[in-house]
Structure 1
Amino acid sequence: MTRIIGLTGGIACGKSTVSAYLQQRGAVIIDGDKIARELSEPHRAIWQAYVNHFGTKILNDDNSLNRRLIGQIVFTDEKEKNWMNSTMHPLIKEAIMNKIEICRQNKMAVVVLDIPLLYEAGWDKFADEVWVVKISRQLQIERIQERDKLTRQEAESRIDAQMSLEEKAKRADVVIDSSAAPEITLAKVARICAERNLNL
């Protein structure tokens, strides 16, 4: 029997660290961002949808999507953000469902849906349980600014475009605070795996 864990959190909250650790222990990771990136490569489904909608102004010289420009458009315009979500989500969902089905057929013990917008997209219903990785808003802003070289305002607009971490934590089966050093966070995750009898 395959157990499916939905793993989510806010931007720059340390979700990738938790995901990588679970993968090391033998879980199969279905990475929503990776699927989105693959579908965003030139002439694939998401890339085509963006070009059809915005025109070629959102392309770099090498034909790849200009993510920063797209981010500036969709994170400041509710209508464009809604268009993006309603266009991207069905394409990504189809790829995720195919991967889940393959894991079930191959009798994988634990599958992790590593998806930032798990709740926003309504995909928590595909998981047997949901784990949320969270940190304080201030630390989140600092990490995003440092990682993505954004202004404070840009960092805040990306955070505010997602469901609040408080709301995600309220709905979750497991909440992992990753404010401390990575090894402390991973020790917590190891304990959670043991408590929940995960076959990892």
Structure 2
Amino acid sequence: MTDFIVGITGGVASGKSEVTRRFEALGIVVADADLAARDAIAPGSPGLAAVVAAFGADMLADDGSLDRAAMRRHVFDDAPARQKLEAIIHPLVRAALQAACAAAPGAYAIAAIPLLAEGGGRSSYPWLQRVLVIDVPAQLQRARLVQRDGIDAALAERMIAAQASRGERLAIADDVLVNDGPLAALDRHVLMLDRRYKALALS
């Protein structure tokens, strides 16, 4: 059991997954918001029942799961619909992350929350003791996104613009890991952060 929880966030293509993999290799439990969101609306879950009640059975696929493509089309350009969906899913995700981290062994646990800044920041996650932002210069972020997803620069720019700004993310950071070098450089950064968090958790 631990009550020292670190939130990790960062923009698209910043390298969050590479960083969390390194914490996991050190034996640290990482609770992932994306996985928690999928579980929150799994077939038979109260979350999925709430989505169907709000949006109708047309949002279900033939196998009873959420038709994600249909839901994306429905909420993409409809801000009120998107907010209604988020109002169902986000509280379930926050509760699942907190429970998973609190049950983790070790000195501290990590909650990987890609949209932490967009989802209310610290006010929505008051149980986070630290926030680690994985930061990357905008030009490098665009280049990585184009290479990773095989998209053009214009689409990459729109994807970046749809998220919180770099400044908004940095404003909620206690710690910043600038991921602008080779992947091997992350090992040293993560080891230093691991030592810091263990010391803070025990203080």
**Normalized against structure 2, the TM-score is what?**
0.78
Per the alignment, do residues 56 and 7 of structure 1 end up closer, same or farther by CA in structure 2, a change over 3 Å counting? same
One-letter amino acid of the structure 2 residue matched with residue 77 of structure 1:
D
Preserved contact between residue 75 and residue 161 of structure 1 (Cα < 8 Å): no
Please, which runs of 5 or more residues in structure 2 have no aligned partner? none
CA distance 1:48–1:148, shift in 2 (3 Å): farther
Q: Does 1:97 align with 2:98?
A: yes
Identity %: 30
Which residue does 2:109 correspond to in 1? 111
User: Which residue type is aligned with residue 67 of structure 2?
Assistant: N
RMSD, matched Cα: 2.9
In terms of mean alpha carbon deviation, does 138-147 or 7-16 score higher?
A: 138-147
Alpha-carbon displacement from aligned partner over 1:27-50 (angstroms, at most 9, x marks no partner): 111211111111222221332233
Partners of 2:157 and 2:60 in 1: CA distance = 25
1:3 aligned partner: 4
| Partners of 1:148 and 1:50 in 2: CA distance | 30
Alpha carbons 1:4, 1:112 under 8 Å: kept: yes
List aligned pairs for 1:185-196, cutoff 5 A. Answer: 185-194=186-195, 196=196
2:82 maps to what in 1? 81
Partner of 1:55: 56
Alpha-carbon distance between aligned partners in 2 of 1:94 and 1:48, rounded to the nearest angstrom: 18
TM-score normalised according to structure 1 size: 0.79
Distance, in Å, in 2 between the alignment partners of 1:17 and 1:80 is 33
Deviation at 1:7, TM superposition (A): 0.8
Mapped pair 1:198 → 2:198: yes
Bigger Cα displacement from structure 2, 27-36 vs 58-67: 58-67
Describe the SS at the equivalent of 1:125. coil
Q: Partners of 1:63 and 1:71 in 2: how far apart? A: 17
Supply the distance in 1 between the matched residues of 2:30 and 2:167 (Cα, whole angstroms). 25
- The 3 A distance-change label for structure 1 pair 76 and 159 is farther
Contact in 2 for aligned 1:51/1:58 (Cα 8 Å): yes
- Deviation of 1:16 after TM superposition, in Å, equals 1.3
Deviations 1:90-135 (A, max 9, x none): 22222223224423xx5x3111011122232334421111100122
